[in-house]
Amino acid sequence: YIDFLQRVTGRPSMAEFPTQLRNTSKQRVSYYFNHDVGNFHFGAYHPMKPHRLTLTHNLIVNYGLWKKMEVYRPRPVDAPQMMEYHSSDYIDFLQRVTPENVSSFGDLLKRFNIGDDCPVFDGLWDYCRLYTGGSVEGAQKLNHKQTDIAINWAGGLHHARKDEPSGFCYINDIVLAILELLKYHARVVYIDIDIHHGDGVQEAFYSTDRVMTVSFHKYGENFFPGTGDLNEVGHKRGKYYSVNVPLHNGVDDRSYHSIFKPVMESVMAFYKPQAIVLQCGADSLRLDRLGCFNLSNKGHAECVRYMKSFNLPLLILGGGGYTIRNVARCWTYETSVLLDTEVSNELPFNDFLEYFAPDFQLHPEVSMPFKYDNQNSRQYLENIRMQVVENLRLLQHAPGVQMHEIPPDTYLTDLEEEDERRPDHRMTQMTRDRMVEGDNEYYEGEYDHDQQGEEEDEDDFGGRGGGGGGRDDDMYSYGGGGDNDSIHNQQQQDSEQLDE
């Protein structure tokens, strides 16, 4: 009966490609989000909508997933850190160009590929600094073993090149994060499940054996960016360290996993990476505005679950995704997968609930037939798998590196550095963040010791005359003692001083 339903509906069971989960329940997860990153706007008709990040964060908060993670506001990355990969001329251009002065840059606009795909919009430089900060800080946390999984859904902009933007991407936060990871890890594997080829990351590491790039993407029919053929395997020292899996229209969950899991199993066995970077572009989902694949949320998340099962330091990044309600659903569900937490299919009440009408579900049922037929035959996928495995076999061994002094972090992890850098500010953002109380500060429940203490204080208050004896009496009285009248008089004096 199950087989009959699968054939009739065309929706195979995930049980056909089960993931054997290892002991991952104790993995520490850190989450990076800056509220400002969702407020930028590429333009009225531009498909890239940073607002999708606000929707995602809102669902994560209202599902209560934030309680199971360490939540951080990442610091913006400065120009010198970006120039660890990008050219100084390009970074200088991004810092100076604005919608008001863009016409004065003349030929530089063509040189730096400014146009409809990559426009100049208000706050462009700040946007780049914010989304890059979460990726770099997440990599640093992994380096120092302060977390096992780091999530930055604002990152994953994989098309940006060394000296120009491309495909809605201006700064390649992935490359900068990988460079950070390479300071502590001999080998890093980068995996890309965006529908578009991860050309910017592949280009950055095309000639090295310390990073293996693996991309599963649509290829052919002039699909952007036009790279990612099976024969793009790397160059010189990096030969066979670039793995490309070109796919055709309409790939569904079953077909995708039939190639993803065997390829990644071989990559992990042959390359033996010490850290994983996974770009989770959501434009490979069914019904994406710019996509042509047929993956479901659960099918997309199965790739995340599989890579998590290897129990290696894992950096999770966002990427493409242009039907924003589906992007938010997908990344929220994948956050729950990373936390080993089941969440309800019914969406919780949140500030943007109307975006998810009419079903208001995390995994809505889609009754309409697939827009794209699956053009990836079983034989085609098997041929790709065999070719990839054959290339991997040409690698003699997992490459190592000579011992060397570990370079310093991209920026100091000491938060005091931010305060010292801006002494004219009465209170910096980092200072305000440090004043946020933890969850246990306002714990409410049967075993709330604070509440018990308050009840005891109320019982004893009359006997103590508002002070003298008991715990922390200075918290409850002005001047360490006295009666209620003296407290009232002191409050009046304070009020008069404030009025003056």
Tokens found for residue 415: 């938060």
On the 0-12 / 13-18 / 19+ scale of CB atoms within 10 A, 362 is: buried
Identify which of 120, 136, 205 has the alpha carbon closest to the alpha carbon of residue 170. 120
- 159 catalytic? Reply is yes
At 485, give phi and psi (nearest 5°): -65, -40
Query: Whole-angstrom Cα distance, residue 344 to residue 350?
Result: 14
At 274, give phi and psi (nearest 5°): -105, -10
Query: Whole-angstrom Cα distance, residue 367 to residue 370?
Result: 9
Q: Which residues pair with 29 in a beta bridge?
A: 149
Query: Whole-angstrom Cα distance, residue 38 to residue 61?
Result: 15
Query: Whole-angstrom Cα distance, residue 329 to residue 363?
Result: 8
Identify which of 333, 332, 252, 240 has the alpha carbon closest to the alpha carbon of residue 286. 252
What dihedral angle (degrees, nearest 10) is formed by the CA atoms of 339, 342, 344, 348? -20
Identify which of 452, 447, 488 has the alpha carbon closest to the alpha carbon of residue 460. 452
- Inter-axis angle of helices 51-62 and 324-338, to 10 degrees? 40
- Which residues 6+ apart lie within 8 Å of 367 measured at CB? none
476 in Cβ contact with 457 (< 8 Å): yes
Could you please report the per-residue DSSP string of 117-144?
A: SS---TTHHHHHHHHHHHHHHHHHHHHT
The active-site residue out of 57, 86, 158, 159 is 159
DSSP 8-state secondary structure symbol assigned to residue 68 = G
Strands (E), 327-372: none
**70-72: strand order across its sheet:** 70-72, 29-32, 149-152, 314-317, 275-279, 188-192, 211-218, 242-247
> CA geometry: angle at 318 spanning 313 and 322, to 5°?
165
Query: Whole-angstrom Cα distance, residue 467 to residue 459?
Result: 13
Identify which of 326, 325, 327 has the alpha carbon closest to the alpha carbon of residue 354. 325
Containing H/E element for 91? helix 88-96
- Active-site residue numbers? 159
